[in-house]
Structure 1
């Protein structure tokens, strides 16, 4: 009996610790306008950056989020957003920079078909996901990674909430 209790406690501890280290999370809530759901799936890149997928009954977006205030004099600009999962293809998106809220700016795309292909790859991710952001206008490049930890479970939650399964 003690052995069973010890095993149960150990398994609960492992489950809790793997949740704490998960790099991907999903937030789902009811959508008052459609009667369905809206959801956000995000992966942590760093303390100041994340990648986020958002959906509601009418849209699906992908954004690179940067913790930074949007200057009132700043204008939206065009960017290339790149993501690669494992040894798969590089998913290429045309993105625009915009204010997301008072804390974050975003480089966002609405290319639904390519976002869906990326989500299919993300559910099976085994190695760090590569991200890139590039501007020809500013001759600027940035790259980063996000861990695959939790991507399968959280992508499944997101796809179900968004009715994309």
Structure 2
């Protein structure tokens, strides 16, 4: 199976390795799950003045703004509960842009909490992203998904029925 790592896989990687495998193998989570629907609504209705859903290679950027002489890439999330995974996703986007010669800054947006978090691709974070890309590929090329491990995110996961049945 030939594939490229995506932002969604990068976000899932920090939460659940099993979810990474399922997503990469085209096993789609419950699209009627309330948290998926809420996330979709927040994404559609927040920051409408900014350019949204910019497609770049295998990346979909939630929003792009020009601030002074800088490009700002934004990722909009429902909640900061999974802030680390959202940050990793945004770092991945900044890394992909850098690979194409585009320098940008990042910002996480949590509109329901009226919170923002600046994200910058430092050399340390870049190494972390490269390592994660390799580990994601290792997970995906396995014949079977990693074993189910119950974590706090399971109760709100769209894959819950698949993993816990």
Alignment TM-score, normalising by the size of structure 2: 0.29
Higher strand share: 1
Alignment TM-score, normalising by the size of structure 1: 0.29
Q: Which has the larger radius of gyration?
A: 1
Higher helix share: 2
